[in-house]
């Protein structure tokens, strides 16, 4: 078991398996001017498996596969199979934009994945490309249907609330939990990613998001869907699914933070809002032993800050891209 300098137990690793993405969501990636990594710069399957196995030996038991868009990584199902077969894995999940999910859901499930989060910011077909710039709502909905059909449970939908763009759809997402056994989480926009997009104009705080949901009943930990992140859960009366809220700014969740992030290029980052990390790929490729790698993983845990500083005017968090960090 590993704990950081503030006594938080670290047992969750978010693995960005690629920084490539088939969408360019307007708050996340610029349409031009971001260069994706070359294949040789990205950790190989063998390197990822080695790091995960060592992280497990140090107390990590929950893994989330993310990106970029993880489903565009060639051979992602076999990588998931290798990770899910490692002894000591308690939970393995995946975040996706859902575009490729309908064709891959069955193989992912057979590879050992049992739950997925789908990022979806609008339920209006004509708005989809305004926000995501490519793809289509129908493809994502097909993916969600396929995910439910193969048995991913829970299946969560993450909606980043962007004031003036999709904030008028909050109630529609609540209605979705009445129709399907899915769990919708409303995510407060964070000052990370597309430089300059984040602004007062587009940011909507937790209390306004909650108000727009209508009547909600608070759920206990036992009644909430399985998960190990910062969301708090509620239910709209009579719904099949639940409503969750992830709020980095209005309601800081760092006190409960249990995670590390491994970038696709092999840097282990202890905080979402900081680029500071340790370079595991460099150590692996220069012949580092398992002991050396474990020492460096422990070092990353020790430099984990007490809390993020996204709200600080001096923070340079905006320059970090979510597709490198994995969200």
Task: Write phi, then psi, for 120 (nearest 5 degrees).
Answer: -150, 120
Judged by beta carbon, residue 109 or residue 296, the one nearer ligand SAM is: 109
Residue 165, by phi and psi: left (phi above 0), alpha (psi -120 to 50) or beta?
alpha
Q: Judge contact between 258 and 197, C-beta under 8 A.
A: no
Judged by beta carbon, residue 147 or residue 284, the one nearer ligand SAM is: 147
| Nearest distance, CB of residue 296 and ligand SAM, angstroms | 25
- Report the alpha-carbon distance of residue 168 to residue 175 in Å, rounded: 13
DSSP class of residue 285 equals: H
Judged by beta carbon, residue 120 or residue 280, the one nearer ligand SAM is: 120
Judged by beta carbon, residue 190 or residue 300, the one nearer ligand SAM is: 190
| Nearest distance, CB of residue 98 and ligand SAM, angstroms | 8
| Nearest distance, CB of residue 324 and ligand SAM, angstroms | 9
Q: Judge contact between 192 and 320, C-beta under 8 A.
A: yes
Beta-carbon-side half-sphere exposure of residue 27 (alpha carbons within 13 Å) = 21
| Nearest distance, CB of residue 86 and ligand SAM, angstroms | 22
| Nearest distance, CB of residue 76 and ligand SAM, angstroms | 12
Judged by beta carbon, residue 193 or residue 229, the one nearer ligand SAM is: 193
Beta-carbon-side half-sphere exposure of residue 320 (alpha carbons within 13 Å) = 21
Using CB under 6 A as the criterion, which residues of the chain lie in contact with ligand SAM when the complex forms? 21, 27-28, 66-67, 69, 95-97, 119, 158, 160, 187, 189-190, 192-193, 322-323, 326-327
Residues, the chain: 327
């Amino acid at each position: 078991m590993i704990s950081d300098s503030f006594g938080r137990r670290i047992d969750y690793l978010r693995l960005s398996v690629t920084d490539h993405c088939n969408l360019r969501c307007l708050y996340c990636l610029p349409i031009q001017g971001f260069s994706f990594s070359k294949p040789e710069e990205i950790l190989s399957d063998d390197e990822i498996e080695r790091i995960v196995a060592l992280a497990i030996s140090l107390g990590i038991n929950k893994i989330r596969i993310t990106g970029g868009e993880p489903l565009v990584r060639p051979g992602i199902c076999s990588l998931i199979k290798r990770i899910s077969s490692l002894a000591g894995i308690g939970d393995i999940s995946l975040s996706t934009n859902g575009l490729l999910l309908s064709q891959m859901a069955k193989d992912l499930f057979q590879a050992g994945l049992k739950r997925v989060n789908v990022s979806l910011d609008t339920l209006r077909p004509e708005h989809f490309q305004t926000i995501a710039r490519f793809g289509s709502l129908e493809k994502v909905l097909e993916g969600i249907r396929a995910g439910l059909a193969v048995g991913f449970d829970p299946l969560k939908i993450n909606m980043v609330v962007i004031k003036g763009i999709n904030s008028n759809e909050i109630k529609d997402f609540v209605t979705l939990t009445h129709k399907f056994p899915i769990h919708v989480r409303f995510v407060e926009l964070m000052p990370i990613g597309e430089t300059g997009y984040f602004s007062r104009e587009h940011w909507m705080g937790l209390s306004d998001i909650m108000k727009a949901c209508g009547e909600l009943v608070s759920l206990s930990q036992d009644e909430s869907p399985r998960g190990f992140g910062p969301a708090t859960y509620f239910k709209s009366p009579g719904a099949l699914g639940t409503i969750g809220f992830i709020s980095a700014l209005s309601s800081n969740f760092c006190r409960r933070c249990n995670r590390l992030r491994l970038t696709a290029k092999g840097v282990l980052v202890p905080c979402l809002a900081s680029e500071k990390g340790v370079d595991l790929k460099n150590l692996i490729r220069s012949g580092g032993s398992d002991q050396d790698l474990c020492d460096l993983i422990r070092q990353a845990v020790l430099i984990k800050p007490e809390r993020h500083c996204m709200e600080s005017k001096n923070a340079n968090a905006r320059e970090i891209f979510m597709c490198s960090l994995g969200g």
